[in-house]
Each structure stands twice: as structure tokens, then as C-alpha cells.
């Protein structure tokens, strides 16, 4: 099997994808600077893998550090996760997001090219669709963004598309995924955001476990069945397996592709709250507050292309997402710190 460089490897999605790659027989070289993750993830991954994982502490915004990592490891392909990812924070700190997300991508691509590596899976986002014109959203839907985070992903996609056109050696997957939630079924790894969570599920988890008093629901007057935002929530392990399927497609010579990774079904904030209460047996008090800048009313995928092209489809239900998230959170009320 192949040796894969995984940037952002100790983050939420990166750590779960690491396990999925190992399970598929790949060798993984993980890279992270722990800007939004914990070194304790490495011990958990080693425990689950039954062997010590290979890891390099480095920053994708450091070209020299990246070059040194790649000089020490012969790799066949890369999956690039390392990026800042919070919509609200990106509105407050747009320059920080551009510097890290675009600059880091450029550095990774340059380092790969310098080593003669031309297969890359890029972590994009459904935010590139902006305010969707039709639902579910197909890959050929118009692209526009409503916040700086989404803009960094769209610019990243455009940069990679130009690279493909100019240099046919590149085979690049651009994976547009929706709202990853849940945790590994072992309960040993999961989502552990720094500070106040920017995404729904970790906030719900922290309210249920008692570390936060109530959930703030941003907007109750959207044009949706119950007035709250509707999103396509996908289990993080389904998402991880989607990356493995995409990587296999590239390694088998299937060529570049752009696909949605989602379930194709939308759930409102209040539906998620209800499902989590059922899974955890705990109440989740909530209060509806003003809408959040940059958010859209509803966003869910048409995932049929991924099924046809990659042979991949999301398998895990909303209840499974909530059960696995609760297993992680209830066993780790303060994330990796306790």
C-alpha cells in the first residue's frame, strides 16, 4: 500500500482519517503543529492502531519545516486538512484565515512538487456554495461564499484547478464536505475544540455533560420547518472513509475529481438537540439568539457522484452520530485534558 502525508493529522477529522487510512492498509506520516489539537491524540491513535504512529511536529506555514519532513519520508500522496475552520471566527479575523489557509496550501503543494509527489486530496467545504440556489446541492451548483473561511476554501480550489490545467502531472481531489459530527466508536478520540465551540455538536455535548449551561441557537426565524438552520450532518468516520475512497481513486489512476461528501439529508438544529437528548438521556437547554454573520438557512448535499465515482456512501445515522459523540464526551468531559 501507499505512504500518505496527512497534514492537520491530530485534528478532529485528521485523526479519524488517520485510523481509516491505517485500516485500509496505508502507511501514514502525520503532521501537525497542535494549534487546535492535543499531543495526547498520538497516544490514543497508537493505542487504537496497536503500534506507534509516525508523526512530525511542523507547521504548514513553515516552508523549510515542510521540506525537511518530506526529505525524511518518501511519500506517494498527501491529504491536506491543516486549516482554520470556524465561520464566525473568520468573519472576525479574515487576514489570519487567508494567511494560514491559503499560505499553508501553497507551501504544501510546493513541497510536494519539489519531491515529485503529484497526488493530493484537498479538504474543501460546502461553504463554497454560499447561499445555495437549489437543494440538495450538486457539485456543478454555482460557487460563491458568504464568509472569509468559505472564501479561503474556494480560492484554494481555484488554485488547485489552475495547477491541474497547467501541469497534467497533478491528480487532485477536492472534497466538499458538510458538517462532520460524532466520534470514533471506541470513545477514545473525538472533537475537542479550544475555547467556546464554533460548531453545533461539541456545544451540545458540553451542555449535556454539564460544562456549559445552555446552547445558543443562532437564529430561529429561518425559512426552515422549525425556523432553525438545517445542515447535512455526517459521521466523522463516514467522512474519513470518504477520504480513503478518494485517495484510492487517485492511486488507482482514476484522475482528479470534485465530489460532495454528505448524507444528502438535512437536519435542523432542534432535530439534532432532540436526537442528542435521546442518545444521552440528558436535557440540552437552549436559547434562541440572533443569527450569526455568514450563516445560511439550509445546506445539504447531493452525494450521488461520490457513490458512482468512488463507491462511497455515508452509512451511519444521526442517532449513531449522537451516541458516538456522547460516548466520547461523557468519558472525556474536558476533552483530552480530562
Measured CA to CA, the distance from residue 134 to residue 108 in angstroms comes to: 34
pLDDT of residue 113: 98
> Alpha carbon 318 to chain centroid distance?
17
Phi, psi of 86 (to 5 degrees): -95, 120
What's the confidence (pLDDT) of residue 33? 98
Answer whether 178's CB lies under 8 Å from 232's CB. yes
DSSP string, 61-118: T-HHHHHHHHHHS--SEEEE--S---HHHHHH-HHHHIIIIIHHHHHHHHHHHHTT--
Going from N- to C-terminal start, the domains of the chain cover 3-181+233-262+300-314
Low-confidence ranges of the chain (pLDDT < 50): none
What gap in Å lies between CA 311 and CA 127, rounded to an integer?
Answer: 24
Residue-level pLDDT at 1: 80
What CATH number was assigned to the domain covering residues 3-181+233-262+300-314? Answer: 3.40.50.720
Catalytic residues: 149
Amino acid at each position: 500500500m501507499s505512504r500518505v502525508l496527512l497534514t492537520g493529522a491530530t485534528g478532529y477529522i485528521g485523526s479519524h482519517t488517520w485510523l481509516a487510512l491505517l485500516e485500509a492498509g496505508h502507511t501514514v506520516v502525520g503532521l501537525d503543529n497542535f494549534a487546535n489539537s492535543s499531543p495526547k491524540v498520538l497516544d490514543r491513535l497508537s493505542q487504537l492502531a496497536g503500534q506507534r504512529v509516525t508523526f512530525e511536529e511542523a507547521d504548514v506555514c513553515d516552508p523549510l519545516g515542510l521540506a525537511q519532513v518530506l526529505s525524511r519520508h518518501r511519500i506517494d500522496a498527501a491529504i491536506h486538512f491543516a486549516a482554520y475552520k470556524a465561520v464566525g471566527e473568520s468573519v472576525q479575523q479574515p487576514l489570519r484565515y487567508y494567511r494560514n489557509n491559503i499560505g499553508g496550501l501553497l507551501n504544501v503543494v510546493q513541497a510536494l512538487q519539489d519531491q515529485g509527489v503529484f497526488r493530493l486530496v484537498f479538504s474543501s467545504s460546502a461553504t463554497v456554495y454560499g447561499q445555495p440556489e437549489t437543494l440538495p446541492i450538486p457539485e456543478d451548483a454555482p460557487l460563491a461564499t458568504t464568509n472569509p473561511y468559505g472564501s479561503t476554501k474556494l480560492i484554494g480550489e481555484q488554485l488547485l484547478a489552475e495547477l491541474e490545467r497547467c501541469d497534467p502531472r497533478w491528480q487532485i481531489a477536492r472534497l466538499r464536505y458538510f458538517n462532520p459530527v460524532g466520534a470514533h466508536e471506541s470513545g477514545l478520540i473525538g472533537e475537542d475544540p479550544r475555547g467556546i465551540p464554533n460548531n453545533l455538536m461539541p456545544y451540545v455535548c458540553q451542555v449535556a455533560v454539564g460544562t456549559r449551561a445552555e446552547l445558543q441557537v443562532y437564529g430561529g426565524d429561518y425559512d426552515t420547518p422549525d425556523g432553525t438552520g438545517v445542515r447535512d450532518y455526517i459521521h466523522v468516520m463516514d467522512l474519513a472513509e470518504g477520504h480513503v475512497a478518494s485517495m484510492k481513486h487517485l492511486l488507482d489512476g482514476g484522475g482528479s475529481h470534485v465530489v460532495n461528501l454528505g448524507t444528502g439529508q438535512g437536519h435542523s438544529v432542534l432535530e439534532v438537540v432532540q436526537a442528542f437528548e435521546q442518545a444521552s438521556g440528558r436535557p440540552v437547554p437552549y436559547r434562541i439568539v440572533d443569527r450569526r454573520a455568514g450563516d445560511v438557512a439550509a445546506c445539504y448535499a447531493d452525494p450521488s457522484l461520490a457513490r458512482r465515482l468512488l463507491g462511497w456512501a455515508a452509512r451511519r445515522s444521526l442517532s449513531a452520530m449522537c451516541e458516538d459523540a456522547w460516548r466520547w464526551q461523557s468519558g472525556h468531559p474536558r476533552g483530552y485534558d480530562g
